[in-house]
Amino acid sequence: MKVLFVSLGNICRSPLAAGILRNKLNERNYDAEIESAGFEPYHIGLEVEQRTISIAEKHGINIEKHGMRLFSTEDFDTYDRIYVMDQKNYRDAIDMARNEEDKKKVDFVMNAIEPGVNKIVPDPFYGTSSDFEKVFIKLDEACELIAESIIQEEQNKA
- Would you tell me which residues interact with ligand 4NP (CB under 6 A)? 7-14, 38, 123, 125
Tell me whether residue 19 or residue 38 sits nearer to ligand 4NP (CB atom).
38
Tell me whether residue 59 or residue 125 sits nearer to ligand 4NP (CB atom).
125
- DSSP for 28-55, please give it: TT---EEEEEES-GGGBTPPPPHHHHHH
Q: Least distance from C-beta 1 to ligand 4NP, angstroms?
A: 22
Could you give phi then psi for residue 61, rounded to 5 degrees? -115, 130
Do 20 and 41 meet the contact criterion of CB atoms below 8 Å apart?
no
Do 1 and 45 meet the contact criterion of CB atoms below 8 Å apart?
no
Tell me whether residue 55 or residue 150 sits nearer to ligand 4NP (CB atom).
55
Select the residue whose beta carbon is closest to ligand 4NP and give its number.
9
Q: Least distance from C-beta 39 to ligand 4NP, angstroms?
A: 8
Could you give phi then psi for residue 31, rounded to 5 degrees? -100, 120
- DSSP for 14-32, please give it: HHHHHHHHHHHHHHTT---
Q: Least distance from C-beta 120 to ligand 4NP, angstroms?
A: 11
CB neighbours of 20 closer than 8 A, spacing ≥ 6? 56, 61, 136, 139, 140, 143
Q: Least distance from C-beta 8 to ligand 4NP, angstroms?
A: 3
Tell me whether residue 10 or residue 23 sits nearer to ligand 4NP (CB atom).
10
Tell me whether residue 9 or residue 19 sits nearer to ligand 4NP (CB atom).
9
Q: Least distance from C-beta 125 to ligand 4NP, angstroms?
A: 4
